[in-house]
């Protein structure tokens, strides 16, 4: 862990690191979505009926919600092992022993709610091979969470360590919302 204090954080350097991570994540996501769209339908038949598409999105969401379960488990184990934290959230803010786990859980819960919402929305708007985008988004969610947690453990005061993980988690969800809103608008205009 990096014991830098908040006063030692160079905001300009942090901002540049976040931008670099954003560019790298954008390139990785673009490539990943393209590869997924063109290869996954060769190996899997994606559903076309609405109820099957919604079932697919719900089942895919399990792999996102597992990360919330991991975060809850990490915090629970940490609380049981820390005298300062055994009283739970009502007894005060988390101690340094579990601060990273609590931050990971909170961020993962926020990201999971957004991701599951967009998967369900996309399942009502997309069909067939296009549903491969949900599979790739779920994979990026998992990779992003691993990188985010590892980065947080290495750099607790700055954003550099967790930036790539955060953007890899968030970018597919953001792209999904943009796509969903665009498709909804097209549907409204056509009707």
And the tokens for 150?
């590892």
On whether residue 3 sits in a domain, the answer given is no
On whether residue 135 sits in a domain, the answer given is yes
pLDDT digits (tens, 9 = 90+) for 154-187: 876 678 889 999 999 999 999 999 999 999 999 9
What is residue 191's predicted lDDT score, i.e. its pLDDT? 85
Helix, strand, coil percentages, rounded to 5, for the chain = 80, 0, 20
pLDDT digits (tens, 9 = 90+) for 16-47: 988 999 999 999 999 999 999 999 999 999 99
Is residue 111 predicted with pLDDT exceeding 80? yes
Q: Looking at the 3D structure of the chain, how many domains does it have?
A: 1
What's the mean pLDDT in 139-155? 92
Is residue 55 predicted with pLDDT exceeding 70? yes
Long-range Cβ pairs for the range 108-111 (8 Å, 24+): 108/67, 108/68, 108/70, 108/71, 108/145, 109/68, 109/71, 111/141, 111/144, 111/145, 111/169, 111/170, 111/173
On whether residue 182 sits in a domain, the answer given is yes
Q: What average pLDDT does the chain have?
A: 92
What's the mean pLDDT in 43-69? 98
What is residue 89's predicted lDDT score, i.e. its pLDDT? 81
Distance of alpha carbon 105 from alpha carbon 94, whole angstroms: 12
What is residue 4's predicted lDDT score, i.e. its pLDDT? 47
Report the range of poorest mean pLDDT among 10-19, 29-38, 65-74, 117-126: 10-19
- Tell me the CATH number at 31: 1.20.120
Distance linking the first and last C-alpha atoms of the chain: 56
What is residue 88's predicted lDDT score, i.e. its pLDDT? 83
On whether residue 6 sits in a domain, the answer given is no
* 3-state SS, one letter per residue, for 114-143: HHHHHHHHHHHHCCHHHHHHHHHHHHHHHH
What's the mean pLDDT in 56-67? 98
pLDDT band at 6 (very low <50, low <70, confident <90, very high): low
What is residue 5's predicted lDDT score, i.e. its pLDDT? 52
Instruction: Domain of residue 41: give its range.
Output: 11-190
The alpha carbon of 162 is separated from its chain's Cα centroid by a whole number of angstroms, namely 12
């Amino acid at each position: 862990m990096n014991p830098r204090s908040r006063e030692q954080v160079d905001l300009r350097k942090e901002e540049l690191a976040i931008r670099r991570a954003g560019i790298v994540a954008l390139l990785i996501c673009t490539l990943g979505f393209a590869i997924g769209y063109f290869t996954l339908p060769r190996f899997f038949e994606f559903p076309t009926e609405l109820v099957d598409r919604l079932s697919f999105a719900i089942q895919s969401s399990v792999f996102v919600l597992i990360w919330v379960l991991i975060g809850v488990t990490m915090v629970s184990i940490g609380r049981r092992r820390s005298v300062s934290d055994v009283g739970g959230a009502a007894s005060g803010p988390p101690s340094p022993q579990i601060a990273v786990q609590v931050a990971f859980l909170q961020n993962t819960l926020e990201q999971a709610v957004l991701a599951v919402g967009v998967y369900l929305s996309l399942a009502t708007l997309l069909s067939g091979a296009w549903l491969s985008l949900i599979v790739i988004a779920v994979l990026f969610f998992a990779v992003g969470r691993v990188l985010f947690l590892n980065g947080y453990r290495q750099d607790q005061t700055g954003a550099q360590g967790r930036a790539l993980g955060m953007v890899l988690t968030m970018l597919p969800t953001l792209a999904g919302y943009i796509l969903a809103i665009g498709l909804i608008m097209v549907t409204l205009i056509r009707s």
